[in-house]
Amino acid sequence: MGPPRALPMTVPATGLPERVTIYEVGARDGLQNEATVVPVEIKAELLDRLADAGLGVLEATSFVHPRWVPQLADAAELLARLERRPGLDYPVLVPNERGLDRALAAGAVHVAIVASATETFAARNLNRTLDGQFAMFAPVAERARAAGLRVRGYVSMCFGDPWEGPVAPGQVAAVARRLVELGCGQLALGDTIGTGTPGHVEAVLDACVAVGVPIGRLAVHFHDTYGQALANTLAALRRGVTTVDASAGGLGGCPYAESATGNLATEDLVWMLDGLGVAHGVDLDALVATSTWMAAQLGRPSPSRVVRAMVPPVRG
């Protein structure tokens, strides 16, 4: 037998929340970027394994038109296969009212819409102007809430846009406020191309709070393109954020922004939270085993630093 695996020393830091909710996005934001379609039974098993590892919020799929995201064309079939466990949350993304219709028919109880913080990305991703996107989202949020569903709002390009460059915090805050006014119970601020740094994160969060969006309704969604995701997460936690998006094994990116690479790896986040003494409820060994299994299904190693450290490659 080899030596026992390394563990982070737990040294609690001041100014952090006692507990963080990890909003797992791998099955949706991760798999939507695969070049090939992952079979629905593999997706269902991935979600079951993630639930077994202790993750309580699992964004399952997207009801975007299959023409645009063929990797998730099996959304309704996937939801039908899932074992709905008590207390487990399976949000789904809906782009518009047609997507909401499909999600409602499939029994979804928590939906998410994706807005843009910039004019160019609104045009490219939504075929709307920055202002016009809200007219599209308003009936989605209203109908979802009337049906008893929870509504999350994503804001893309909060820290940088590949066409427009850096994004002013006040511009992000204005979009966030309008989404709250539409009825979004939670907002996830997305660093879609991964250019944010800790001070920028603090400025965006402060700008949102200044226009009346409570910090308790804000989540963060960081990409690790430039290696800043964990540092940015820590900055957000110090500002009072308690929900962090992450993707098992670091899967994912954005199919409409070529410079975007993978999401913050859930394992890397869990390692940091364990070291800080922040509760999260996830079994790291089970999570690493799940990401290692998923990497094998995809035929490539996981980009997660923690997965690679805990499961080193077999050398011939």
Active site residues: 254
Token pair 């695996």 is found at 5
SS3 category, 49:
helix
Minimal CA–CA distance to 220: which of 211, 212, 232, 209? 232
CA distance 57 to 166: 31
What is the Cα–Cα distance from 196 to 98, expressed in whole angstroms? 33
The answer to whether the CB of 190 falls within 8 A of the CB of 221 is yes
Alpha helices in the chain (DSSP H): 40-52, 75-81, 97-105, 119-121, 132-146, 169-182, 198-210, 229-238, 266-276, 284-298, 305-310
Cβ-proximal residues to 129 (8 Å cutoff; 6+ apart), any chain: 119, 122, 123
Distance of CA 208 to the CA centre of its chain: 19
Q: List the 57-58 sheet strands across, edge first.
A: 57-58, 21-24, 243-246, 218-222, 186-191, 150-156, 110-116, 92-93, 61-62
| CA torsion, ordered 83, 89, 92, 98, to nearest 10 deg | 90
Give which of 303, 263, 310 is closest to 33, Cα–Cα.
263
